[in-house]
Amino acid sequence: MGKLTIDFKLDPLLELDPKLLKQKNGKLLIDVDGELTITLGDRRFFWEPSLTLLELGVALKRWRTKDPGANKDFHFFTMEHDEREGPILAFNRKSAGRWQLFSIWQEFEHLDLIAAEDLLEAVDGYLAELEAVLVDRFGLRYKDFMRWWAT
């Protein structure tokens, strides 16, 4: 199917409350938002112009930390959305080293399987790039918010 990419755009004009930044307040999980695009090859699988990027980053970081070998599914539900509708983003393990993507907002049904290496490369790239931007602009790191993510 082609390369998997997870790209984001943080609003260059985004301003965060200095008091919340100093406290590393959990409200920042939803305040840090922006555009998220996931592509498979040359097809856009997922696009959301206003997604909680830090909340997704913390969820992905927790998944990668708790399950470094990627043996368990990943399901992302944002605080701002009703879970009963389904996951905003899911990586479902179909067999050893093979994954399928799903989202309630997906633009097409993804039937092909993605190699674990490709999935983890895309996830780790997103995590590294987002944290670099957050550290540079706001002095924020994922570890500051891991306590807010209970599961």
Q: Output the pTM of the full model.
A: 0.92
Q: What pLDDT does 103 receive?
A: 95
Unique residue bearing structure tokens 């996951």: 87
Dihedral, 141, 34, 14, 19 alpha carbons, nearest 10: -40
Name the one residue in this structure whose structure tokens are 């959301």.
48
pLDDT at 113 over 60: yes
Q: What is the pLDDT of residues 73-108, one digit of tens each?
A: 999 998 777 677 889 999 999 988 899 999 999 999
